[in-house]
Structure 1
Amino acid sequence: MCYDDKAQPPIPPGAGGSAQGEELILEAADGNKFLAFAAHPAKPGKAAVLIYPDVRGLHNFYKELALRFGEIGITALAIDYFGRTAGLTSRDESFEFMPHVQQLLIDNFFQDVAAGLSYLRQQGEAGSAIFVVGFCMGGSLTLVSGTNKEFGFAGLIPFYAGLTRNFGGRGTALDLADRVSYPVLGLFGGNDPGIPVNDVNALETKLRATGIETNIKIYEGATHSFFDRRYEEFADASADAWNQILSFISSH
């Protein structure tokens, strides 16, 4: 599990605006209905983010994160993975997520992503830039969905993306890195036992070999899930991660 129910996203620089949060049920092309949470800025800019949660799906950390983006003028939509197998039930700590993770299929997930993108494009200006921000399994899926050229992302921002999970036999995020089509800002902890630095370096090598713009940041001493307001020892890493994100979004 990446974040528990007490986790809180760090505050971004320049926060102070207002945003309205909205619980949603979106529908994919195959009829799947799934949970989502949108944050609408009072003064929206020309960028939006699609948020991929960790293995627990759409729980409170990601709703709060969507609001933090909204408060700095970035429309945000966080989506759930498990509508097909768990329905529209709660994703609090009592949710037994692993049986549903094991049933996750990339083709189905891509249909949900398409529905999320459609929603964001209906909300924003024509030609608005949409970025993906994903955490843990969501970071892995950020890279995997970066292989789909039809999505039209402006960029990919995976946090501590797991590099060894094989999604339904389609390959791991590391296996598929040479097919990624969008600029990447990858954010990793240097003391993450589940994601060795050697694997992160291998990811960077494969991404750079494609010719796409690649920026991989490894925060020395930071653990998995370091991006959490409770972890004062990682406050500098979290602040820099926010700066990296906003610079990446601004430049794309």
Structure 2
Amino acid sequence: MCHDTDSRPPAPPRSGEVTERGTLTLTAADGTEFAAAYAAPAGPARAGVVVLPDIRGLHPYYVALAERFAEAGLPALALDYFGRTAELPPTGTREQDFDWQTHIPQTTPDGVDADVAAAIGYLRERTRPDLPVITVGFCFGGSHSWRLAGSDLDLAGCIGFYGRPSMVGDVRATRPTLMVIAGADAATPVEEQLALAERLREGGGQVTTAVYDGAPHSFFDRAYGDWADACADVWRRVLQLADEVAAG
């Protein structure tokens, strides 16, 4: 899995007031209720973020990451994948003992897309109808974020960490895409991810790869002091893409 139980995301390079934070329940177009976490900055929204977690769904790491994005001036919503196959989490987030092994195989791209569409709608409802929205995914969610770079959803950009090319399918990127690649990722060889980037580029979208040599899977963690410079560079790249889509 992507992160330890007590892991939390590193701080962004810019920090402002967060005026709202908390968990909630959203409803997808197919009627499925699913858990989510929302965080909003104090200033006007220029771009929004849908956070796609790893296999554990709405782990506290991703609630904290939504707040980090809000600190950086971006309203963000992190979602949970399991509204179709599991009860809503009683505490708002998935606990460490959640049986994700049972539920992950039951997720589908269509279900993920429906939940992302609902998340986009919520961000625009809370901000403005034309808010440009990007996805930021990790591991399982990173794979889906790369896949969404070629989808029909109204997204302005897609960012994925530590994804698996085998999950992406035969898609081509039609919007700006960032692939954050851990150089020492034991789960997926770097070469496979770079090959995916070449295939995604055939769709005409700008696909950028950022390979961090020697970095392990899930290095984007405030506890990984050895990778502080890499984390800072990741934040720079992520916020640069968000600022670019905000500027049109």
TM-score w.r.t. length of structure 2: 0.94
1:104 aligns with 2:98: no
Aligned residue number for residue 208 of structure 1: 201
Q: Quote the Cα distance in structure 2 between the aligned partners of 1:34 and 1:208.
A: 33
User: Which residue in 1 is equivalent to 2:234?
Assistant: 241
The residue identity in structure 2 corresponding to 1:152 is: D
Partners of 1:8 and 1:228 within 8 A in 2: yes
> What is the one-letter code of the residue matched to 2:203?
T
Which position in structure 1 is the counterpart of 2:22?
Answer: 22
Q: Deviations over 1:18-62 (max 9, x none)?
A: 342021100112211100000011113311000000000001000
For these two proteins, the number of residue pairs brought into alignment is 242
Describe the shift of the 1:228–1:12 C-alpha distance in structure 2 as closer, same or farther (beyond 3 A): same
Does the aligned pair in 1 maintain the 2:150–2:203 contact within 8 Å?
A: no
- What is the aligned partner in structure 1 of residue 128 from structure 2? 125
Alpha-carbon separation, structure 1, partners of 2:100 and 2:19: 30
Identical columns (%): 40
* RMSD between aligned residues: 1.3
Aligned to 2:163: 161
1:176, 1:71 → 2: CA distance? 36
Partners of 1:5 and 1:92 within 8 A in 2: no
1:105, 1:236 → 2: CA distance? 36
Residue 148 of structure 1 aligns with which residue? 151
After TM superposition, the runs of 4+ consecutive aligned structure 1 residues lying more than 4 A away are none
Q: How big is the shift at 1:143?
A: 1.6
1:114 alignment partner in structure 2:
117
1:109-140 per-position Cα deviation (integer Å, ceiling 9, x unaligned): 22111111111111112321100000000001
Give the whole-Å Cα distance in 1 for the aligned partners of 2:199 and 2:8.
Answer: 33
Letter in 1 for 2:231: S
Choose which of 181, 189, 193 in structure 2 pairs with 1:196.
Answer: 189
- Do the aligned residues in 2 keep the contact of 1:47 with 1:129 (CA within 8 Å)? yes
After superposition, give the CA deviation of every residue in 1:67-97 in whole Å (9 maximum; x if it has no partner): 0111121000000000111120251211110
Contact 1:23 1:38 in 2 (8 A): yes
Letter in 2 for 1:200: Q
Counterpart of 2:213 in structure 1 is: 220
Q: Which residue of structure 2 aligns with residue 135 of structure 1? A: 138
**Under a length normalisation based on structure 1, what TM-score does the superposition of the two structures give?**
0.92
CA distance in 1, matches of 2:139, 2:69: 19
Q: Structure 1 stretches of 5 or more lacking a match? A: 165-171
Q: Which amino acid aligns with 1:41?
A: P
| 1:106 CA displacement | 1.4
CA distance in 2, matches of 1:202, 1:19: 42
